[in-house]
Chain A
């Protein structure tokens, strides 16, 4: 077990090193300078996260005010529970198809074939995934706490409210923590029970998944219909208690719920440890090593490699031939793009487009310039990532692409056009749905969307090609969107804002369209030039 302990500690240290390296901290440097820098990083990010979450809580207050007659606190709790139910069901679905205990290829060779204590190994492997899974819920819980302060404290908020914010935030975290922890253990327990000894329980997904979905739905219904609470003791585990604790009943109930929660957790954890004794490690490694490789590749920036491996898993063995294209030459790229998109389509692929839709949906609701600028920034970053997916995929097949007798400008246009069209459509659909749902006029920003999307796609394509090298592309290492690319895209939004500010009305609208398209065309020319020189690097 010492060897397993040592390997896992190294893996955790690597993971930690990765996250610290993002903020520029070198974990192996023990100098005072570096320690002071860590202190600075901790203070900076704590304050930044605090302020951002307060900002989000404020935004949530504005959005939830549009949801009468539902009580805002109840609505928030409903959203948190909805997120938690979605996360749990998705994790459970994954655990029922692939082991929740994930081993790398090295683990499979070095650990899973050796006579280690399975229970100790599983428990040792448990903590890091749990912390990573809890992190987003920690932020959600804090936002929820801040939101409750926002709506319960009267008058203008000042710095003197900061302790109240922090205390309420922590109180909410204390409530969410056992719920998340319990669900996480339950998820692992079910995944471990599926792979026992030398047999796989194929029936489990068919039984467990529907039960989980039904129970989650019931809990969600209970949250918005408190009168039903008495029928099931599950209310203890729902956010209804959170409302009563934070607003009415005080700390007595909090301790009770906590105690009940932790009793459940101890029972579940004991069950998991017992089941782990007969857990089939080899089978788990077989199921999870590819997924683990994909995760590692993604973490180290080999996005195209990770995407290709994931797609290969999804695609299966083969496919009947697609309908033939009638057009020769460059237009065959469209035929290829359609086949590729169709074959790797899954529900999760829609999440990108749905995010774009949601961003524009909420954009129309925001009244003032600064909060709109914030949403626009996220929208721009998102469209940057999506617009070049096909280009990145093609560049990862450098041997094929480089040898096609197709001029690069044409190639680039064919690679970007489909993504641009869908981005424009989903953005416009977001604005339009918002106007229909809330009965407000269609936002004037709609007219700028085509220009900004196309300009942004051009900028991002230039950014990707600018960073690429032929040596890297031969080995499938395709660059992602860089910080410079993000800044250039944000610059486009800033210029659009300036044009709008300086030239209000129709001239401004025309100005923004001309500026965006100008940016797009200039970027395409730059990208074409960068491509010509790419083999030089």
Chain B
């Protein structure tokens, strides 16, 4: 049984976060928090800086200014502790060419020291996302939607407190979107924090108790 977090608990805190590429301001300074049970929707047009913000938050790209803490651990000073608690699912996940879908799940679970019921968890996730029949295929043979589902399954097989999702609905079919939204609501009940970027108005309306709107690198907290 998962431990349910206190709703007032801050999982992620970004302070004065900004990113510049040379003289180009990709992300203007922003501060915000993700509390336990928050689903925050990050919206904005193409090229507005949504992915840059998510990459900065996840540590894939280092911000020019500011800091990120997850459960009080600094993203760069306590990197391993943060990795244990936060996961980022990109819009186009990449996979090892030589590992099958099932082996990817197994690898991620083991690397994150998931000890119990890996097989059952993997099987449940693969069934849930409709990938069970294709579990022994190499993911480069998957369609983009299937790759995204596998990316999500890889995130859900390991423990975390914060999940960052970059346009997860862009390639999913209607059924896939429903499964994802159900999963996110379940995470919300469990007290996890979700930051999801999307420009799908339907998703924005159906989800989120906090909105971040981003325009040309400038973020407004809604």
Tell me the A residues contacting B by CB distance below 8 Å: 308, 311-312, 315-322, 324-325, 327-330, 332-333, 335-336, 339-340, 343-344, 393, 396-400, 402-407, 470-471, 474, 476, 532-533, 535-537
Contact = CB atoms under 8 A, between A and B. Distances in A.
Nearest to B86: A403
Most B-side CB within 10 Å, residue of A316, A324, A332, A470: A332
Contacts of A318: 100, 134, 136-138, 141
Contact of B100 (A321, A398, A407, A470): A321
Contacts of B79: 532
Contacts of A324: 106
Interface stretch (B34-42, B91-99, B178-186, B199-207): B91-99
A476 B92 CA distance: 12
Nearest to B76: A532
Contacts of B128: none
A151 B136 CA distance: 61
Contact of A476 (B94, B108, B138): B94
Contacts of A332: 107, 110-111
Contacts of A402: 58-60
B84 interface: yes
Contacts of B33: none
Given A340-B99, A343-B98, 10 more contacts: A311-B98, A312-B138, A318-B100, A319-B100, A321-B102, A397-B96, A399-B90, A470-B61, A476-B94, A535-B62
Most B-side CB within 10 Å, residue of A311, A319, A399, A474: A399
A185 B95 CA distance: 41
A325 B99 CA distance: 14
B95 A328 contact: no
B111 A319 contact: no
Interface residues of B, number: 39
A308 B55 CA distance: 24
B121 interface: no
Given A324-B106, A403-B83, A470-B60, A339 B98 contact: yes
B74 interface: no
Given A336-B99, A403-B83, A474 B58 contact: no
Nearest to A404: B111
Contacts, number: 112
Given A317-B137, A321-B102, A329 B97 contact: no
Contacts of B134: 318
Contacts of A536: 62
Contacts of B84: 405
A399 B60 contact: yes
Contact of A315 (B58, B60, B97): B97
B110 A315 contact: no
A85 to B, nearest CB: 33
A316 to B, nearest CB: 8
B134 to A, nearest CB: 8
B163 to A, nearest CB: 11
Contact of A321 (B103, B112, B140): B103
A315 B108 CA distance: 21
Contact of A311 (B76, B88, B97, B141): B97
Contacts of A533: 62
A502 B111 CA distance: 47
6 contacts: A324-B106, A328-B114, A343-B98, A404-B83, A405-B111, A405-B112
B4 interface: no
B19 to A, nearest CB: 11
A230 to B, nearest CB: 53
B219 interface: no
B62 A405 contact: no
A469 B207 CA distance: 35
B87 interface: yes
B113 interface: yes
Contacts of A398: 60, 94
B175 interface: no
A317 B94 contact: no
B93 to A, nearest CB: 6
A468 B113 CA distance: 28
A233 B2 CA distance: 82
B148 to A, nearest CB: 12
B83 to A, nearest CB: 4
